[in-house]
Structure 1
Amino acid sequence: MTDKLEALRLEAETLSGLMMQLAENEIDSDSFAVMSDLGENGTEHECDLPITETALRASAVIDQLLAALEEKDQRIAELQQRLQQHKPIKLPAEFFIKVSGQAVSVMGTAAVMHRIRSAGHKVEVE
């Protein structure tokens, strides 16, 4: 993980904890106003949302995003490890045939499929 992503992950963990603490606190005013910016026409009051419920929801979303990020990082690590384990594919020697006076390179299908399978890859035949 890059330094920037690691810093964001740490900040997200901190904010999740703070949101959880906010949700558990007794607050004098238990809601806040959500306002819309109407540009030149000022602002408009849309609704009031409960502070503690919003903080609890924010904490849950942050935790879910962190878990998804961790899963993604693990999957990338697994795929990188699998990629390094694959052997290179050595194709069989090619031979040439003449088609309408032109030399055309040919490799036997069975030999190519055998080499690909031997390298640990799956081959699907149409």
Structure 2
Amino acid sequence: MNGPWIEVFGYGLAVLALATSLGMIAMGRRWQKVEARAYGGVRRPKWFLGATLCLGGLWILAAFDFARSEQTIAGWALIAGVPLVWSMKAALIVFNPKGRKAVTAIDTDAGWRKIGLARLPIALVLVILTVFS
């Protein structure tokens, strides 16, 4: 059985992935303003830092639950794999000026909708990992 924080972490990430994907699809190029605020400047906005701290805190609680539970491959993917992917994204986009410029340069409805559609399966994968972790 999953610890409660593993479920909060996994399902919370799934909801965030679904919400951001649907936001990209619904808003199209207007989503670029959200991305530009988060990634476009040298300093991150307070809401971005707050969200990062909340996700980091949830991850720590989930990692403690995971350490005390029966460890599965799905659990390892959720608790270790997801932060690894976040780290790679941060290195390529968030903290890399070329990456930030590339993301903030997407300014077409079709471009953002394609990204949103491509990201939709992430929510399902996160739910599956959470269920089987």
TM over 0.5: no
Bin the TM-score by the shorter chain: under 0.3
Q: As a proportion of its length, which structure holds more helix?
A: 2
Q: Which has the larger radius of gyration?
A: 1
> TM-score, structure 1 length as denominator?
0.28
Q: As a proportion of its length, which structure holds more strand?
A: 1
> TM-score, structure 2 length as denominator?
0.27
Which of structures 1 and 2 has the larger relative contact order (alpha carbons within 8 angstroms, sep 6+)?
2
